Amino acid sequence: MASSNIQPGTVEPPIGIERLTNTQWEKPEYKLPLPSLQFLFHLECDMESFHHIGKGPHGDRSTVIFKGGRFEGPKLRGEILPGGGDWETVQDHDGDQQTAHLDTRYNLKTHDGAMLYLRTTGTRTGKKEVLEKLGEGNIGPDQFRMRLHLTFETGDERYTWLNSGVFMASSGRVGDMVIYDAYQVL
């Protein structure tokens, strides 16, 4: 994986406008705010077996159906209902690198009865030999990178703030479970 000077939990500030060569922006005093992350929840999703579909018009596709799971954070907690899944495509790169393009859908039920639809998109990338062994459960999260963008939908007024938020997650896979820590981008 590529190394970075940016440490976990930090935000790299933008380059000063005066150092940019392809800009016509004439108001350098107009400073955009740096984003911050607020913890949303920890999620644990139990998966069934992967089903390899094969190479098709959109890539090398596999699917997996979700058996259920749970999530919990300061503002919401509950269960993952059975029947969601991941419809991923995998791309091999030059050398030994691989990227899985993730596309998941979940139905979540909060502890107080609200129904939430959650869709995630993102990538899982790393050495092919590492990614192919994730189902064995002995690969650490520092051996690959898995990041997600989360989009929520709900009609429950107690949780409509989820409909307009921007959310991301740092994720991993351990055996037949996907886990992630989700954050709201503020």
Let me know if 66 is exposed, middle or buried by CB neighbors in 10 A (0-12, 13-18, 19+).
buried
User: What is the average per-residue pLDDT within 144-162?
Assistant: 98
Contact status, residue 172 vs residue 180, Cβ threshold 8 Å: yes
pLDDT-derived band at 1 (thresholds 50, 70, 90) equals very low
Q: What is the mean pLDDT of the chain?
A: 93
Q: Which residues of 141-170 are buried (b: 16+ CB within 10 A; e: fewer)?
A: eeebbbebebebebeeeebeebeeeebbbb
> Does domain 34-185 correspond to CATH entry 3.10.20.440?
no
Q: Is the pLDDT of residue 138 over 90?
A: no
Q: How far apart are CA 40 and CA 149, in angstroms?
A: 13
User: What is the average per-residue pLDDT within 77-99?
Assistant: 94
Q: Position 39: which residue type? A: F
User: What is the average per-residue pLDDT within 51-63?
Assistant: 93
